[in-house]
Structure formats: C-alpha cells, structure tokens
C-alpha cells in the first residue's frame, strides 16, 4: 500500500467480478471510513490519438475549427463514451498550404489499451465530413520549423535553402546572430551612436517575429500564430 492506495499484482488481467471481490474484501477489512474506499481499477497509461480529415477553416463560416466544437464532438459522440482525456485537445493545420486539421487527443487507458482499440481506425461524421481516429506517437503539439521558424511544418519538409535566425530573421544560424546582425555591431553613424553588444552580455535589442512581425523572437509563445494553432483564445 502507498499514498495513492493499494496496489495488487495478479497473474492475469482482472475481471469485473475480481474487482467486486477486492472492493468487498477491503471494505470488510476496514473498521471505519468505508465510504471513502474508491472502486478498484486497472493501472492506467497515457495513450495518444489523432483525429484527421477535418477542415481547419469552414468554407461556410470562414472560421477555424474551435476547441469548443471539438469538445462537443467528443462529448456527444458515442464512440468516445468511455474515453477520459488527460488534457485539452490540441488543434493544428496539416501544413501552411492545407486547409485540413489534425486534432491531437491524449487519453487515459488500461495497459492493454481496450478503450483506444475501440476508437482507433474508426470513422465518424463532423458536419458533411468523415473524420478518422488514428493511433499516434507522443506529439509536441504545434509544429514549428527549426529551419525557417514558421508554424505548421517541420524542418524535414522545409522548402527554403539555408537557415534563418530565430531572432532577426536573417539568413544565418541563430548561434551566429551576433556576428551577422547589424544592430549588435558598433556604428558611429546612428544617432545616438550604437555600441557593440558585449560578448558576455545579453542582447539588449528588440527582435522581429517573421510570423506576425511583432517585436519578439519567432519562437515566442506571445506570437498570435502559436495561440491560434493551439486555440489559446
């Protein structure tokens, strides 16, 4: 027994009848507080699913699919009756040029994954479209290219040649930022004259995000592109 309860090891997967026997035994063994005994259950793992073939932006309303819409679908569709989410669903575009979305959902399931098996490869309707549930590996949520720093794709499929700096959007690696960035170099022509950024000091300059053109790095969580993909409204 530990702080989270009693752990019982069995040779085979327990049945509902086994759970009832265990619960009855534990309650009979306690002299008080039997009302606080929770029903026995199998150990659970976090499993990862994704829902595909959903439009990211509706052709009728021109609005992107919202978190509330997805929660409604999961709540009202019988396919997800026994599914317990570990966190909020996450919504991203398949790519910057595609209007299709991927819905990532992380669920609690038993070690043999009975609930996940019931929904994987199943199809269901969302409006006039047929969505499909697939099994997935652990996902990081929103995709951001570490080469060009745009949202919606990974570096492996990036089409630009070379690399861009996450701070200034210049055509160089971020680690070479101070060597190439003009505003880290000294200049007597500016008013007032600009001093060179000291080697061991943090850069005092403001940066420009290439996604929204605001004054922070392109991988900042302040970027509305990140909030839009993650539905953090």
**Domain stops at, among 118, 135, 152:** 135
Same-domain status, 116 and 178: no
- What is the rounded CA–CA span in Å between residue 72 and residue 194? 55
Is 73 domain-assigned?
yes
Same-domain status, 121 and 156: no
For residue 4, the model assigns a pLDDT of 57
**15 pLDDT more than 60:** yes
For residue 131, the model assigns a pLDDT of 93
Task: Report strand pairing: 123-126 vs 129-135.
Answer: antiparallel
What's the pLDDT tens digit per position in 62-75?
Answer: 788 888 888 898 99
**2 pLDDT more than 60:** no
Could you tell me the pTM of the whole model? Answer: 0.51
Same-domain status, 149 and 232: yes
174 pLDDT tier (thresholds 50, 70, 90): confident
Same-domain status, 119 and 155: no
1 pLDDT tier (thresholds 50, 70, 90): very low
Domain count, the chain: 2
- What is the rounded CA–CA span in Å between residue 81 and residue 74? 8
What is the percent of the chain with per-residue pLDDT over 70, rounded to a whole number? 76
For residue 171, the model assigns a pLDDT of 86
Is 21 domain-assigned?
no
Structural domain harbouring 187: 144-233
Same-domain status, 111 and 156: no
What's the pLDDT tens digit per position in 5-14?
Answer: 666 666 666 6
CATH number of the domain within which 91 lies: 3.30.70.330
- Return the closest-CA partner of residue 122 out of 114, 132, 130: 132
Q: What share of the chain is helix, strand, coil (3-state, %, to 5)?
A: 25, 20, 55
Same-domain status, 116 and 150: no
Between 226 and 137, the higher pLDDT residue: 137
């Amino acid at each position: 027994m530990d702080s989270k309860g009693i752990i019982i090891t069995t040779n085979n997967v327990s049945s509902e009848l086994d759970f009832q026997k265990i619960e009855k035994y534990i309650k009979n063994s306690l002299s008080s507080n039997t009302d606080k005994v929770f029903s026995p259950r199998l150990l659970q793992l976090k499993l990862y699913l994704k829902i595909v073939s959903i439009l990211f932006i509706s052709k009728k309303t021109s609005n992107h699919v919202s978190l509330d819409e997805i929660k409604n679908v999961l709540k009202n569709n019988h396919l997800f009756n026994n599914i317990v989410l570990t966190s909020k669903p996450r919504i991203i575009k398949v790519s910057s040029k595609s209007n299709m979305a991927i819905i990532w959902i992380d669920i609690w399931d038993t070690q043999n994954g009975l609930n996940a098996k019931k929904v994987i490869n199943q199809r269901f309707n969302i409006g006039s479209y047929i969505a499909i549930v697939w099994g997935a590996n652990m996902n990081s949520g929103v995709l951001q290219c570490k080469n060009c720093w745009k949202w919606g794709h990974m570096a492996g499929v990036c089409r630009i040649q070379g690399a861009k700096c996450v701070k200034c959007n210049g055509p160089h690696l971020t680690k070479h930022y101070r060597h190439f960035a003009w505003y880290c170099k000294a200049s007597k022509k500016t008013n007032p004259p600009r001093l060179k950024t000291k080697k061991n000091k943090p850069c005092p300059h403001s940066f420009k995000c290439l996604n929204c053109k605001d004054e922070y790095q392109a991988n900042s969580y302040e970027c509305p592109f990140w909030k839009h993909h993650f539905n953090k409204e």
